[in-house]
Amino acid sequence: MNPPCISIIVPSYNQGAYIEETLLSVLEQEYPALELIVMDGGSTDQTVEVLQKLSTRLAHWESAKDRGQTHAINKGLARCTGEIWAYLNSDDLISPGSLQRVAQMFADPAVEWIGAVSEIFDATGPRDTVTPQEPARLIEYLTPWQRSVQHVFACSNVTYMRRSVYEKLGAFDESYHYSMDMEYYIRAIFAGIRFHRFPDTLGRWRWHEQCKTVKDGNAYRFTEEEIRIAEAHIGKLPADQQAELAREIADQKKWYTVRQIELGTQSTSRAARLSALLQAAASHPGLLFFRPWLGAVRKQLFRS
């Protein structure tokens, strides 16, 4: 039996320091039915030189201005032809032998979606792992800020889906810039697509100061998009969990408001940040009794 074609889409923008290692981590697997597609957003570093160097080994590559990472993924999805697909960030890696293992997992025609373990690493070596686990309750898919397990989904570099999932769900939502993968996976969950978790370590997720997760996402921008996802799917929960999630969302909106003002306005004056905090409380009086808001106000008033 011929192995299934696996399409790997690599969205890219100014990751020339890492992209060659990323692409070689795929190409050196020597998987016989690989379709490797690179959608670069018009990089101004050495990325294009790397792509030209490897061009004969790529199914397709292009470098042109786009609307961001999510748009690049969608352009790759529209072009790919594989029975199985994944997207791989241009600074992350897949582990040796992982594509053969993925093909084995998809030998069962009932399997449409799998996720494995990814190692987190930085310039000094391994830092941690992301190991997807089954949540205790359905609501936990929508409350990343409070779960019985640390991770319910796998990193994108070790998540693979059958083409049938794309045909059912369509493209990624381009209004999401940080949590586009989580939004897609949650869409899949509520569409009744089963997620198969595997204990194999199939990839490595690179932690560095310039990746957007580190620069902005962990600060407050993930929270903004996580709230949107929760609001979009709250009606799909049992009634008691809907009420619980509504309370959770209200609390997270308070947290987000404070974080966004503190962290998103660092270039403005202390007086401007204080004014923003007071204006937020005028619009949302519940902040007046929210201890993080009070702490942020005190910090602006009394910080030396």
Residues 128 and 38 in one domain: yes
Residues 236 and 269 in one domain: yes
Asked if the structure places residue 1 within a domain, the reply is no
Residues 141 and 277 in one domain: no
Asked if the structure places residue 265 within a domain, the reply is yes
Which is nearest to 83 in space by CA: 129, 28, 34?
Answer: 34
Asked if the structure places residue 20 within a domain, the reply is yes
Reported pTM:
0.88
Q: Which of 180, 208, 236 corresponds to the end of one domain?
A: 208
What CATH number did the domain enclosing 155 receive? 3.90.550.10
Buried b (16+ CB within 10 A) or exposed e, 46-77: ebbebbeebeeebbebbbeebeebbbbbbbbb
Q: Which of 173, 208, 243 corresponds to the end of one domain?
A: 208
Residues 178 and 265 in one domain: no
Residues 50 and 188 in one domain: yes
**Listed range (31-45, 59-73, 279-293) with the worst mean pLDDT:** 279-293
Query: What's the pLDDT score for residue 217?
Result: 44
Residues 183 and 268 in one domain: no
**Listed range (76-80, 86-90, 282-286) with the worst mean pLDDT:** 282-286
Q: What is the pLDDT of residues 185-202, one digit of tens each?
A: 999 999 999 999 999 999
Longest Cα separation, the chain: 71
Stretch 128-147: mean pLDDT:
97
Q: What is the pLDDT of residues 105-131, one digit of tens each?
A: 999 999 999 999 999 999 999 999 999
Residues 53 and 125 in one domain: yes
Distance separating the N- and C-terminal Cα atoms of the chain: 71
Residues 126 and 243 in one domain: no
- Structural domain boundaries, residue 264: 215-302
**DSSP secondary structure of the chain:** -PPPPEEEEEEESS-TTTHHHHHHHHHTT--TTEEEEEEE---SSTHHHHHHHTGGG-SEEEE---S-HHHHHHHHHHH---SEEEE--TT-EE-TTHHHHHHHHTTSTT--EEEEEEEEEETTEEEEEE-----SSGGGGG-TTS-SSS-SS--GGGEEEEHHHHHHH-S--TT-SSSHHHHHHHHHHHTTPPPEEEEEEEEEEE--TTSHIIIIIIIIIHHHHHHHHHHHHGGGS-HHHHHHHHHHHHHHHHHHHHHHHHHHTTTS-HHHHHHHHHHHHHH-GGGGG-HHHHHHHHHHHH--
What whole-number distance in Å separates Cα of residue 58 and Cα of residue 35?
7
Q: What is the pLDDT of residues 13-57, one digit of tens each?
A: 999 999 999 999 999 999 999 999 999 999 999 999 999 999 999
Stretch 236-241: mean pLDDT:
97
Q: Which of 208, 241, 265 corresponds to the end of one domain?
A: 208
The confidence band for 270, taking pLDDT boundaries of 50, 70 and 90, is confident
How far does Cα 165 stand from its chain's mean position?
Answer: 17
Stretch 241-264: mean pLDDT:
86
Six-digit token string for 266 = 């660092």
